[in-house]
Amino acid sequence: SQTIHQWPATLVQPVGSPLSLECTVEGTSNPNLYWYRQAAGRGLQLLFYSVGIGQISSEVPQNLSASRPQDRQFILSSKKLLLSDSGFYLCAWSVGVETQYFGPGTRLLVL
């Protein structure tokens, strides 16, 4: 069966520090991968999606970047965090463009 992992679960970082969040998927090949951010009490905002290794599409201009170095690995990064980067970050995968399966999320607090 397929599983999706995200780490860390919680992260507290100072403004201006770098960020690296990792997401890995098991049990499927060539998935579509997604990074979302959810601010407190708000909906899901799609940040990046990837249909293959090295292929990244960005939905909104921002302080973040994404990379897909391996088929089932998706990394979200920042060189210098801003206060506004705080939120709940969710990784998801899909096969094709139907159902998405979400990871447990990373709660990021930038102070």
Partner 1 sequence: SQKIEQNSEALNIQEGKTATLTCNYTNYSPAYLQWYRQDPGRGPVFLLLIRENEKEKRKERLKVTFDTTLKQSLFHITASQPADSATYLCALDGNYGQNFVFGPGTRLSVLP
**Contact residues: partner 1, CB under 8 A:** 32, 34, 36, 42-44, 46, 49, 51, 57, 59, 88, 90, 92, 97-105, 107
Q: Are 3 and 44 in contact (CB under 8 A)?
A: no
Give the separation between CA 83 and CA 15, rounded to whole angstroms: 6
- Of 16 and 104, CB closest to partner 1: 104
C-beta of 73 vs 102, nearer to partner 1: 102
By beta-carbon proximity to partner 1, the closer residue of 18 and 27 is 27
Q: Please, which residue, 2 or 14, has the CB nearer to partner 1?
A: 2
CA dist 36 and 43 (Å) reads 10
Give least dist CB 90 to partner 1, A: 5
- Angle in degrees, CA 47, 23, 80, rounded to 5: 55
* Residues 85, 3: Cα–Cα separation, whole Å: 27
